[in-house]
């Protein structure tokens, strides 16, 4: 473990948090959430390809399993980006970011279903705590007056599920080749998948719009540099510590939403957010020590 690893992971989490806030600005400016997601991934693909050119060894491109799992990871990151930004449009940056942070819970549920892991009392208790936190955060008991739509909550949870799919895909693909090769295939899959869903006419207006710098920053921070920094940093950081540092993302996104976008969170929502962040982080630390 080195201090540089902690700094790299923290930087990646900070960039991801800021990307949620930037996406919130673009969506408030009436840009479609899918288009914003596509631009984030397309710019990210450029960075990943540059990384691959600089580090071409042991890519594993001739391995069929690498392609299979990388494409699965690509669909995961596609859903993560798109559902996350759509959730922002239907709720808030703070709510969407925290719901997405529930991804480790979905990883556990999938692991239980396919019998990779056995459910334990502590893990089941963590899942129930996160569910309670989600109820408080989204205020489903008064959803009509909270400014959060049901579809926004569903999209936020789907973004977490998609992130879990990306985690699984990347984990198994990385065993077959280099991480830069995996990300190159995954981001290419994202670009092709979301590219079929965007409005071409709207996409053409991005370059000449006043918002193009925000699109560029979103892609650089949220799609390119962050993934590269995180993977490099993770190699130099203990998993337990990385789990704690990763909380920077939803906290940054929430603060951005409240301070810059003027979003308002009730005390019960803040409590729900803290329950989710603390539980998921503790679960990550516990799992890494097993």
End-to-end, the C-alpha distance of the chain in Å comes to 18
**Contact partners, residue 139, CB within 8 Å, separation at least 6:** 146, 148, 266, 268, 269
Task: Round to whole Å and give the CA distance between 272 and 279.
Answer: 11
Tell me what pLDDT residue 156 has: 92
Task: Round to whole Å and give the CA distance between 77 and 55.
Answer: 22
The CB-side HSE value for 286 (13 A sphere, CA atoms) comes to 13
Domain span at 180:
3-288
Q: How far is CA 64 from CA 170, 180, 193, 272, 279, in A?
A: 14, 16, 20, 43, 37
pLDDT band at 206 (very low <50, low <70, confident <90, very high): very high
Q: How far is CA 70 from CA 53, 141, 189, 257, 264, in A?
A: 18, 39, 9, 32, 39
- Model confidence over 73-127: pLDDT tens digits? 999 999 999 999 999 999 889 889 989 988 878 877 877 887 777 888 888 888 8
- Model confidence over 27-50: pLDDT tens digits? 999 999 999 999 999 999 999 999
DSSP for residue 140: G
Q: What is the pTM of this model?
A: 0.89
Task: Round to whole Å and give the CA distance between 178 and 252.
Answer: 30
Instruction: DSSP for 205-267, please give it.
Output: TSTTSTTHHHHHHHIIIIIIIHHHHHHHHHTTS-HHHHHHHTTHHHHHHHHHHHHTS-----H
Nearest Cα neighbor of 23 from 8, 9, 43 is 43
Considering its fold, how many domains does the chain have in total?
1
Q: Which residue has the tokens 């001739």?
A: 62
DSSP helix/strand/coil, 118: coil
Task: Round to whole Å and give the CA distance between 153 and 130.
Answer: 14
- Model confidence over 246-259: pLDDT tens digits? 888 888 998 898 89
Scanning the chain, the segments in alpha helix (DSSP H) are 3-28, 33-54, 64-90, 93-100, 103-113, 121-138, 150-173, 179-195, 200-204, 212-218, 226-234, 239-245, 248-259, 267-288
Tell me what pLDDT residue 22 has: 96
The C-alpha angle 8, 10, 15, rounded to 5 degrees, equals 95
- Model confidence over 52-86: pLDDT tens digits? 999 988 899 999 999 999 999 999 999 999 999 99
Q: How far is CA 118 from CA 109, 123, 129, 169, in A?
A: 10, 9, 19, 20
């Amino acid at each position: 473990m080195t201090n540089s690893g902690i700094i790299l992971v923290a930087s990646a989490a900070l960039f991801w948090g800021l990307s949620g806030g930037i996406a919130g600005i673009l969506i408030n400016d009436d840009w479609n959430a899918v288009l914003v997601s596509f631009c984030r991934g397309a710019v990210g693909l450029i960075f990943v390809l540059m990384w691959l050119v600089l580090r071409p060894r042991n890519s594993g491109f001739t391995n069929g399993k690498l392609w299979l799992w990388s494409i699965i990871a690509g669909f995961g990151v596609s859903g993560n980006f798109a559902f996350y930004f759509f959730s922002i449009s239907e709720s808030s940056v703070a709510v969407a970011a925290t719901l997405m942070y529930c991804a480790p819970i979905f990883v556990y549920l999938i692991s239980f279903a396919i019998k990779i892991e056995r459910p334990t009392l502590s893990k089941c208790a963590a899942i129930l705590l996160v569910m309670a936190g989600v109820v408080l955060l989204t205020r489903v008991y008064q959803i009509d007056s909270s400014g959060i739509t049901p579809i926004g909550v569903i999209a936020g949870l789907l973004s977490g599920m998609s992130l879990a799919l990306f985690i699984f895909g990347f984990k198994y693909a990385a065993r077959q080749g280099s991480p830069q090769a995996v990300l190159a295939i995954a981001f290419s899959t994202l670009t092709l998948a979301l590219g079929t869903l965007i409005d071409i006419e709207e996409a053409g207006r991005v370059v000449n719009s006043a918002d193009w710098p925000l699109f560029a920053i979103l892609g650089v921070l949220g799609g390119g540099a962050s993934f590269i920094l995180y993977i490099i940093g993770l190699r130099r950081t203990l998993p337990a510590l990385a789990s704690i540092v990763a909380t920077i993302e939803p906290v940054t996104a929430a603060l951005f939403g409240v301070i810059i976008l003027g979003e308002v969170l009730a005390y019960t929502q803040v409590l729900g957010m803290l329950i989710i962040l603390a539980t998921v982080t503790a679960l990550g630390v516990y799992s890494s020590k097993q």
